[in-house]
């Protein structure tokens, strides 16, 4: 019954096997819930004072045509600061970012390392984590979309005592567009999406806690470390319903999609011409880009069975900010 409920909400590319091992892990997680919450309750952390409440750390390469909308949108929903790592871009990114650099809304770091995504995150952690209470390791094709709150900082208040929150992806494909229209916003142009949440997403990490492991999980399921009574606990993220996510098991209780209060709109392809131009290149994470595969594209594109306009409630404000008609 529990796995059937999750299937009503989530899409799994690799379906979980409902076997004895899975069932044991599923119910064992409720025991871990108690242990983790016990440790978090009794371990008194020193609450630091930060310059920013919420920030984004992102690495980009040749994304100048999409940067302005992405920066303006996240400023609109209340993100206090953005740290951007430039990974050998050859386009006009400086021209786009200059207004935000002048007002100190963006901090720009040149990061000339091949597949430098996770090393950039580690550099941010070592050098800038003391400046912000929360950070999301986000990509330029991802837009944080609060469904009810106007400000992301209001949403984050509910989780101030937790180390990390996983926010699930809503996947948006081509919406049938062969060519991207640069006179229109990304969030206006692509509205056809998967009908369920993906079990993958991105996190907001609470910098009052220490990150335990810096690998590919750091921006999908950041694990934190906490020492209590001489024991080191590796604490996984929670989802928005305050269930800890571990072993790729995603619990939501007796809830459906209408109970979710936030999502990350992942515009993973945009129009076919944009997708194809990126698929032939390496990127900030992959030397061998999985997007080169036609089957990879079709596997994701053919999951698009609905439309999702939730982000449209910010569209008028964003158009006015960017002066798009």
d(CA 220, CA 167): 9
At residue 221, the pLDDT reads 94
pLDDT of 55 > 80? The answer is yes
Q: Out of 148-157, 225-234, 276-285, pick the least confident.
A: 276-285
| 85-121 confidence digits (pLDDT tens) | 999 999 999 999 999 999 999 999 999 998 889 999 9
Of 41-50, 160-169, 229-238, where does the model show the most confidence? 160-169
287 pLDDT band, cuts 50/70/90, is low
42 pLDDT band, cuts 50/70/90, is confident
3 state SS for 120-180? HHHHHHHHHHHHEEEEEECCCCEEEEECCCCCHHHHHHHHCCCCEEEEEEEEECCCCCCCC
d(CA 308, CA 298): 20
Q: Which is higher by pLDDT, 191 or 286?
A: 191
The pLDDT mean for the chain works out to: 92
Mean pLDDT of 234-262: 94
Q: What is the bridge-based pairing of β-strands 197-198 and 201-206?
A: unpaired
15 pLDDT band, cuts 50/70/90, is confident
pLDDT of 246 > 60? The answer is yes
Q: Which is higher by pLDDT, 287 or 318?
A: 318
Number of neighbours of residue 254 by Cβ within 10 angstroms: 7
At residue 323, the pLDDT reads 80
At residue 133, the pLDDT reads 97
Mean pLDDT of 180-201: 97
Helix (H, G, I), strand (E, B) or coil at 69: helix
pLDDT of 151 > 90? The answer is yes
| Separation in Å, CA 186 to CA 4, 30, 100 | 34, 40, 20
At residue 229, the pLDDT reads 84
Mean pLDDT of 320-324: 86
285 pLDDT band, cuts 50/70/90, is low
At residue 284, the pLDDT reads 53
Residue with tokens 């108690």: 34
| 254-270 confidence digits (pLDDT tens) | 899 999 999 999 999 99
78 pLDDT band, cuts 50/70/90, is very high
Mean pLDDT of 224-233: 89
At residue 292, the pLDDT reads 72
Asked if 150 contacts 77 with a C-beta cutoff of 8 angstroms, the reply is yes
Express as a percent the part of the chain with pLDDT over 70.
Answer: 94
At residue 282, the pLDDT reads 63
Residues forming beta bridges with residue 205, ordered by sequence position: 135, 164
Per-residue DSSP letters for 240-268? TTSPBPBTTB----S--GGG--EEEEEE-
Mean pLDDT of 45-53: 84
At residue 304, the pLDDT reads 97
252 pLDDT band, cuts 50/70/90, is very high
45 pLDDT band, cuts 50/70/90, is low
């Amino acid at each position: 019954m529990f796995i059937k409920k999750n299937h009503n909400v989530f899409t799994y590319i690799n379906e979980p096997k409902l076997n004895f091992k899975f069932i044991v892990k599923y119910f064992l997680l409720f025991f871990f819930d108690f242990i983790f919450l016990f440790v978090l309750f009794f371990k008194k952390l020193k609450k630091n004072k930060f310059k920013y409440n919420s920030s984004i750390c992102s690495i980009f390469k040749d994304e100048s045509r999409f940067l302005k909308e992405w920066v303006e949108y996240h400023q609109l929903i209340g993100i206090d600061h953005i740290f951007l790592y430039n990974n050998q871009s050859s386009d006009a990114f400086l021209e786009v970012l200059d207004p935000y650099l002048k007002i100190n809304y963006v901090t720009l770091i040149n990061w000339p390392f091949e597949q430098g995504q996770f090393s950039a995150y580690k550099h941010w952690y070592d050098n800038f984590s003391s400046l912000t209470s929360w950070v999301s390791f986000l990509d330029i094709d991802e837009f944080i979309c609060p469904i009810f709150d106007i400000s992301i900082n209001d949403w984050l208040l509910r989780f101030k005592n937790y180390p990390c929150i996983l926010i699930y992806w809503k996947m948006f494909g081509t919406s049938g567009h062969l060519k991207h229209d640069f006179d229109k916003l990304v969030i206006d142009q692509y509205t056809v999406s998967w009908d369920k949440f993906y079990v993958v997403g991105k996190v907001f990490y609470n910098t009052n806690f220490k990150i335990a492991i810096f690998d590919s999980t750091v921006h999908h399921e950041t694990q934190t470390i906490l020492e209590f009574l001489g024991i080191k606990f590796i604490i996984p993220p929670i989802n928005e319903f305050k269930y800890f996510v571990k072993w790729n098991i995603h619990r939501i209780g007796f809830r459906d999609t209408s109970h979710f209060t936030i999502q990350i709109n992942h515009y993973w392809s945009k129009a076919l011409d944009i997708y194809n131009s990126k698929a032939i290149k390496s990127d900030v994470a992959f030397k061998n880009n999985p997007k080169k595969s036609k089957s990879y594209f079709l596997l994701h594109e053919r999951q698009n069975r609905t439309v999702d306009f939730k982000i449209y409630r910010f569209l008028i404000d964003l158009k006015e900010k960017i002066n798009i008609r």
